[in-house]
Structure 1
Amino acid sequence: MSVVALVPAAGRGERLGAGVPKALVSVRGEPLLVHAVRGLLAAGCVHSVVVAAPVSDVDTMTRVLAFAGSHARVVPGGSSRTQSVRLALGAAPPDTTVVLVHDAARAFTPAELVKAVVARVDGGADAVIPVLPVADTIKRVDAAGRVAATPDRADLRVVQTPQGFRAEVLRRAYDAYPDATTDDAGLVERLGVPVDTIPGHPYAMKITTPFDLAVAEAILR
């Protein structure tokens, strides 16, 4: 089994307002990207990481990942998350059997969660995503802002990363559906392939706003 993690890190992170790509925003003295890649490799089951970076920041991200040696490779990303994942997937070794797609913004995902995703795919699942129950009531609204429906939250889940796939399945999904998406498992679902879920972890939160950044700082303390 050869496991490769793809990290789309070409986003600008406007909501953080840091003036640098989100993946290069520092938490406790190190970029989010460093925390994320270190966590993936610490799981012990990820053999290499391919990072898709903004074209202007390929050298910078290569430099900050020097600690990973040959286990991390940085390639130019695209203008969307989908394009970046596609480019990183194309750079994965041809003998890759399991692919993880992981957000750099989920920089503090525990190694145990990474191992659990890989183990489920290795055990026979085509696709696996970590999820958490929805704590808040959810409303669906129409274009005018009026409530159209209240879904039963018992059936709803918050999706995290890393999402894990048999490499052949993810490649087939990206070949079949060139349109943009924010969820790789959604592309696999469109193929008619079942997607398994496993329990996620609160530390796998996505850092999107300054508040999230403050929470991450508190977690590391």
Structure 2
Amino acid sequence: MSTFHVLIPAAGSGSRMGSELPKQYLPLLGKPLIHHVLAMLAQAPRIASVHVVVSADDACWDEHAVDYGNKVQVHRSGGATRAATVLNGLYAMAGQVRADDWILVHDAARPGLSQALLASLLDALEHDEVGGLLAIPLADTLKRADEQQRVATTEPRDGLWQAQTPQMFRYEILQRALQLAGGAPTDEAQAVEALGLKPRLVVGQLRNLKITYPQDLKIAEAILLADAKENEAI
């Protein structure tokens, strides 16, 4: 029976946050952003292991490291791109997973993933031939800008989805896709698509936003505080 493993690429700098501190270590409710991601995944009963891939010279991990138990492992083999970091992480995991095991690649800067949303993804894809990802159908009107930042055209949004993570594929397929990927695919699904496969879209939630700009931290804080109040009420 295939098992589920999580891989978190955490070697980026997060330059759009305007901070010298990599965004995965920015404070959120008094703890590093990545702490909230790892704490949730470490508690997920269906997840066999969680692998965090950081840069070889990452001093912040040691400073902020928390013991999440044996389920969480750290690999200091981050690459120059997201794709390279994920591929290096797959190599590091090689002796612990089987070819048909599921790998869930999740952003270090998405603290809003919930146990219910994770379970929804696992249930939807566990027996899928290809795998897939969480995503949200686009609701806003899309505008394409010209060089002067004026509207050049309005783009049809029919059939367009905003990709999220986790993105979930078999170990062997994901490794082959990233090994063959030309350029630098922006997510794992794009690399898998290049193999001629069609990943499945599983409806996600707005709460699973990626922290990209400073104001996103306030939204994430509100989400986690609401979760905490709900848990207290149960």
Q: Normalization by structure 2: what TM-score?
A: 0.85
Residue-by-residue CA offset, 1:2-49 (whole Å, 9 max, x unaligned):
211110111111222332111111100111111111222333211111
Equivalent position SS for 2:50: strand
Please name the residue that 1:184 is paired with.
Answer: 188
Question: Does the 8 A contact of 1:23 with 1:104 survive in 2?
Answer: yes
| Residue 118 (structure 2) aligns with | 114
Amino acid of the residue matched to residue 175 of structure 1? Q
Alpha-carbon distance change, 217 to 145 in structure 1, aligned in 2, over 3 angstroms: closer
The equivalent of 2:169 in structure 1 is 165
Shift of 1:102: 0.3
Gaps of 5+ in 1: none
Q: Say yes or no: does 1:203 pair with 2:207.
A: yes
Q: CA 1:42/1:50 → structure 2, altered by over 3 Å: closer, same or farther?
A: same
**Structure 1 residues 23 and 158, CA, compared in 2 at 3 Å: closer, same or farther?**
same
Find out whether 1:95 has 2:89 as its counterpart. no
Separation in structure 2 between the aligned mates of residue 185 and residue 6 of structure 1, nearest angstrom = 14
Aligned-residue offset at 1:53: 0.8
The CA deviation string for residues 116-163 of structure 1, in whole angstroms up to 9 with x for no partner, is: 222233222412111112122112345565655433213111111001
RMSD between aligned residues: 2.0
Is it true that 1:138 corresponds to 2:142 in the alignment? Answer: yes
SS in 2 for 1:83: helix
Gaps of 5+ in 2: 226-234
Alignment-mate amino acid for residue 166 of structure 1:
R
Over 3 Å counting, the alpha-carbon distance change for 1:72 and 1:64 in structure 2 is: farther
* Structure 1 position 220, deviation (Å): 2.3
Deviation at 1:204?
0.4
TM-score normalized by the length of structure 1: 0.90
**1: CA distance between counterparts of 2:92 and 2:47?**
16
Counterparts of 1:103 and 1:209 in 2: how far apart (Å)? 15
Give per-residue Cα distances to partners, 1:56-100, cap 9 Å, x unaligned.
22x642564542222111112112111111111111223260000
* SS of equivalent to 1:44: coil
Residue number in structure 1 paired with 2:42: 41
CA distance in 2, matches of 1:36, 1:147: 37
Does the CA-based 8 Å contact 1:65-1:72 persist in structure 2? no
Partner of 1:61: 61
Partner of 1:150: 154
Distance 2:129 2:24 in 1: 30
Preserved contact between residue 121 and residue 166 of structure 1 (Cα < 8 Å): no
Count of residues in correspondence between the two structures? 220
Task: Decide which moves more: 189-198 or 41-50.
Answer: 41-50
Deviates more, 1:91-100 or 1:158-167: 91-100
Mapped contact 1:9–1:22 kept (Cα < 8 A):
no
Name the CA distance, whole Å, in 2 between partners of 1:144 and 1:60: 40
Whole-angstrom distance in 2 between the partners of 1:128 and 1:113 = 14
